[in-house]
Amino acid sequence: MTRRLAACLAAVVLSICTGDLRAQEFASLIADSISIDPSGRLTASGNVEVLVQGTRLTASSVTYQSDGDQLTFSGPIHVTDEDGTVFLAEHADLDRRLHDGVLVSARMVLERHFQIAADRIARTSNRYTRLDRVVASSCEVCAANPVPLWEIRSSSVLHDDVERQL
């Protein structure tokens, strides 16, 4: 019951914090623990799940400052956007729509097959994703087969989501 009440409170707070009345963006937040300090900083921890406009994010914790436009997540982090692209990371600083920002120690999975691991992933304009120090492969990597049969390495990669090109 306490978790449900906290989730409702957080959804109300995030909906108030995420935009003006003309273009209201609603977000849902579920977590084991949610608190708001006197300065307006919202902190959620334990099994955190955030849903915003078709994007779903799970993490260990999230912090949102009411006077800013940025959420800080601690991992492990799992983001699935509305197109089905999956991002995995250990740390993330994202905008309130979960579209633009930086993911650290991250992986990106395109079309459920092509995996890209990078030290840093920066997403801008809800179109371009820049990856730094990259290793990519479509080979399945698992505990039994930890090294892919083939891989591509690059100092940086730019992914255009509109043109669907690397």
Could you report the per-residue pLDDT of 106-160, keeping only the tens digit for each?
988 877 778 889 999 998 887 898 999 999 888 877 778 778 788 899 999 998 9
Q: What is the pTM of this model?
A: 0.73
E strands along 14-143, which residues? 27-30, 33-36, 41-52, 55-65, 70-80, 86-95, 101-110, 114-124, 128-137
Task: Assess contact for 64 and 41: CB atoms under 8 A.
Answer: yes
Q: Is the pLDDT of residue 19 over 50?
A: no
Domains and CATH numbers, the chain: 2-160 (2.60.450.10)
Could you report the per-residue pLDDT of 65-93, keeping only the tens digit for each?
877 778 899 989 999 988 888 889 999 99
At 73, list the tokens: 């997540």
The pLDDT assigned to 89 comes to: 94
Backbone angles phi, psi at 82, to 5 degrees: -65, -20
- Whole-angstrom distance, CA of residue 116 vs CA of residue 96: 25
